Amino acid sequence: MTRYVMTIDLRRCVGCQTCTAACKGANATPPGIQWRRVLDIESGEFPDVKRSFLPVACMHCANPPCEEVCPTQATTRRADGLVAIDYDLCIGCANCVMACPYDARSIVHEPRYAYNDTAMASEAKRFDPDRIGVSMKCTFCKDRIDHAAVSGQIPGVDHEVTPACVNSCISGAMGFGDIEDPESGVSRLLAETQHFRMHEELGTEPGVYYIWDKS
């Protein structure tokens, strides 16, 4: 069995949003839509203040409430752990948007462009009408993962089949790989660190692990 997961080392992240922008580029998301973004969180009171950066996206839950509620089976959990959306099935009912406890999904009803109403060449080239009016979210860069099956490369090791955000991260905060494989990079990293998954109490079994200290 394979379950692809992501590790995010909060000790490393500087909140630069390189991953945010890389995901936008790799997936041609319209202005205002960020499948991934990095939050800026503060706690405490002056002068005892802590500030941290929290990258968030779809958690590719093992028990995804978005899938459960989806009336069309457009949202499915794949055998390798990816939670995917079939744009051809989705009716854009937004039930999954409400079901997701991680603000991971969005629906865009009209084409949107960076500068007013006309698409730049780069936007026109990549505009996908199938994504209008349907639910969208981080795919774990599904096409790359699928390519791995064809090319024999290993996601998280070979860059060509690793998510764009992971590749882009300038602090090396992000890892990707198969958590079922004890030898994978993510498994080894998780073994030697303390980490948590967000909102685990909701029973979603998210596939993103946040590292916060050595063990």
The strand pairing partners of 74, in sequence order, are: none
Residues 130-149 within binding reach of another protein (CB under 8 A) = 132-135
Out of 5, 56, 82, 85, name the contact with ligand SF4 by CB under 6 A: 85
Query: Binding partner of residue 115 among ligand SF4, another protein, none, CB under 5 to 8 Å per kind?
Result: another protein
Closest approach of ligand SF4 to the CB of residue 183, in Å: 22
Which tokens sit at 212?
């916060």
Other CB atoms within a 10 A radius of the CB of residue 164 amount to 19
The DSSP bridge pattern shows strands 75-77 and 193-196 to be unpaired
Torsion over CA: 100, 101, 107, 113 (sign): negative
The tokens of 63 are what? 């028990």
Hey, what are 3's tokens? 């379950």
Question: Is 121 among the residues that bind another protein (CB under 8 A)?
Answer: yes
Part in contact with ligand SF4 (CB under 6 A); list of ranges 70-78, 115-123, 153-161, 178-186 = 70-78
Report how far residue 10's alpha carbon sits from residue 172's, in angstroms, rounded to the nearest whole number.
10
Q: How far is the CB of 7 from another protein (least distance, A)?
A: 13
CA 169/CA 35 separation, integer angstroms? 15
x/- letters, 153..192, toward another protein (CB under 8 A)? ------x----x--xxxxxxx-------------------
- The per-residue b/e assignment along 126-149, b for 16 or more CB within 10 angstroms, e otherwise, is eeeeebbebbbbbbbbbebbbebe
Structure tokens at 138: 């981080």
Task: Choose the stretch contacting ligand SF4; rule: CB under 6 A; options: 53-61, 110-118, 153-161, 191-199.
Answer: 53-61
> Binds 21, which of ligand SF4, another protein, none (CB < 5 to 8 A, cut-off by type)?
another protein
Task: Out of 3, 7, 18, 138, point to the residue binding another protein (CB under 8 A).
Answer: 18
Distance CA 180, CA 170 (A): 27
Q: Work out what residue 40 binds among ligand SF4, another protein, none; the CB cut-off runs from 5 to 8 Å by kind.
A: another protein
Q: In this structure, what token pair is assigned to residue 68?
A: 């459960």
As measured in angstroms, the least distance from the Cβ of 140 to ligand SF4 is 5
Contact residues for ligand SF4, defined by CB under 6 A: 13-19, 23, 26-27, 35-36, 38, 53, 55, 57-61, 64-66, 69-72, 74-75, 83, 85, 90-96, 100, 102, 104-105, 134-135, 137-141, 163-165, 168-171, 173-174, 204
